[in-house]
Amino acid sequence: MKKALLLLLALMTNSAFATPLFYWDNQDKLVPAKGCGIVEVETNRFRFSQYFGKKVSITENLRNYKGVRQSHLVNNSLVKLMDGKRKKDFESMEVVARNQLSGVRPNRWFSERGDKGYLYTRSLLPAEDYVLSLRKGTPETSLGDIRESLVGTMWHIAAEGTYYKLVCGEFGSQREYILFRVYTPENLEEPSALVGVYWDETSIFRSYEAISKIQAHKLIPTVLEPIRVNDLLADANSDYIGDLTSYQDPSEALDTRPEAPAPEVIEIEETEDVEEVVTGSVENVVCIGTDTLNVRDIDLRKVLFSAVRGEKVKIFQSWDGENEQVKEINGSTYTFIKAEFPDREAKDETVGWVAKSFVKAKSDCKWINNNTFIRNHNATITSIDDEDCCEFPLVKKPTHAYTSGMRKFKAGRSGGRLHAACDLYRYKDEPALAVGPGVILRNLYYFYEGTYALEVRHDGGFVARYGELTGTKPSKNIAKNKPIRMGDRVGYIGKVNSNCCRPMLHFELYSGKLTGSLTDRSSSATRHQRRKDLLDPTPYLLKWEDGKF
């Protein structure tokens, strides 16, 4: 990926067009990022807070090291992770800014910008889960020649598994300027600028309202699209492009988002500030947003082999730090540990050194599906908007965003037709799952380019078409008029024989208010060439995906 990025940037050095690129400075405000390069990083310090527990609350408790409540942090407030003392199940953090939550009047017990403390790990959400809409109180400055004020602009961290940071000669590599895409009210179709924000220079975010990514998608069609390389080219003649080859490993990851339920009462006991070796029943795995992780020799210079995401890892017991070492790469400091990969067949590729932050308990890894779903598969569904509806139709997150490109709903097709589905890219022969309970309307039938489809009327009346499947039945119960449960396998992901694209689940959704064939190619048909009760599945899939992963 890094080589591909470098190559594309090099090919584009003669390009005349580029999205304006800035970095934020608390004193100088927005500064044009001339001569800067962009590299990928696996994590960043920014997070959003959210109450986690059995009751309903608009705030989460900000605690001190001993677990005593200090203040109440409003949900969806922006925080940054800090290098404080370690506490089990808690993270040391500082409040960047309090979310200006509509209808909530702050009091003296509310957390304020700059407050420091500890938040429960399960109360911290990834920075890409929200968009920041800047409000009155934002520093007064212009967005270059684009806009006179930043009030009303919307900021979303540039992310798709990995993040991006600026590397500029004028401030060195010590400062991690994480890249944000900036949208203006006048242009919600594409970002008007890209801005790097250093986690310790954040006055730009001192007044904002958080918007969930589901809400944001309704306002900004491209907000969830993967970052485009040409978006990253701010200076076509950047002198730093050639130095991107020096980037080797991502900075130390701090992101955890476990799915296990939180205890009703949280107690924090005093423990020594040491890192324990995970043993016993806890299974450690390679936990990384990309597919592979480099395993290095003892000098950390040579790559011995690549471990894959989800691969089992055993950590060597460290005495006096002999199995840990620290190395600075590209201005960032990483801790490497000696590890064993016991399930590998090649015995000369079982032991090596890896970045410590990419080894986690399997249950704590956001990139690994542990088949623990929060949906009740026996729930009664009365509509598609029910709280208990529905299951995401894949066993793992799609490999590509279904909100962008040719995969999205309404994407253009040949002859002026519009795409009637969301294409969920995964791997061939992986299961496709029923999003809810229901009855099969049409069993597997020939659909398109060597693939098959199946139609289900789900409880509550809505209809789903699961397309581009293989012709293999998961069980004898997959037949017309047979009932299915939420989460049941309805088929297996196929691949069209034209080789135009990756294996996918082609997912269509209908309100169920009409009857008859889902495909309609008559002269009175819509541009989708589908029945007129066709729905955009995007907001539903985003909601179900969040609930599952």
Interval 360-408: pLDDT, tens? 887 777 666 544 444 677 778 999 998 889 999 998 888 888 887 889 9
Task: Say if residues 352 and 358 touch (Cβ distance below 8 Å).
Answer: no
Between residues 487 and 264, the one the model is more confident about: 487
Inter-residue contact 529 to 520 (CB < 8 Å): yes
Which helix (H) or strand (E) element contains residue 447?
Answer: strand 438-448
Smallest CA-to-CA distance from 532 within 503, 511, 547 is with 511
> Quick check: 422 pLDDT over 80?
yes
Asked if 392 and 435 count as a contact pair (C-beta separation under 8 A), the reply is yes
More confident residue, 267 or 483: 483
Q: Give burial (CB, 10 Å; 0-12/13-18/19+) of 250.
A: buried
Alpha-carbon span 209 to 154, nearest angstrom: 9
User: In angstroms, how far is the first alpha carbon of the chain from the final one?
Assistant: 24
- 10 membership: H or E segment, kind and range: helix 2-11
Q: What is the pLDDT of residue 439?
A: 97
9 has pLDDT over 80: no
Cβ(99)–Cβ(77) below 8 Å:
yes
* CATH fold group of domain 284-364: SH3 type barrels. (2.30.30)
Lowest mean pLDDT among 255-264, 448-457, 539-548: 255-264
pLDDT confidence of residue 240: 35
Q: Is 519's pLDDT higher than 50? A: yes
Q: Where in the chain is the domain with CATH 2.70.70.10?
A: 405-548
What contacts 321, CB < 8 A, 6 or more positions away?
none
pTM of the model: 0.55
Q: How many whole angstroms separate alpha carbon 453 and alpha carbon 56?
A: 41
Report residue 332's pLDDT band, with 50, 70 and 90 as the boundaries. Answer: low
What pLDDT is stored for residue 49 in this prediction?
Answer: 94
pLDDT of residue 369: 52
Mean pLDDT, all residues of the chain: 80
Q: What is the pLDDT of residues 345-355, one digit of tens each?
A: 677 788 999 88
Q: What is the pLDDT of residue 187?
A: 87
Instruction: Name residues whose C-beta falls within 8 Å of residue 242's C-beta, 6 or more positions apart in sequence.
Output: none
> What single DSSP character describes residue 160?
B
- Give span(s): CATH 2.30.30.40, the chain: 284-364
Return the CATH superfamily for domain 405-548. Answer: Glucose Permease (Domain IIA) (2.70.70.10)
With contact defined as beta carbons under 8 Å apart, do 219 and 188 qualify?
A: yes
User: Which tops the pLDDT comparison, 528 or 226?
Assistant: 528
Is residue 3's pLDDT more than 80? no
Judged against a pLDDT cut of 50, whether residue 108 lies above it is answered with yes
The pLDDT value recorded for residue 131 is: 93
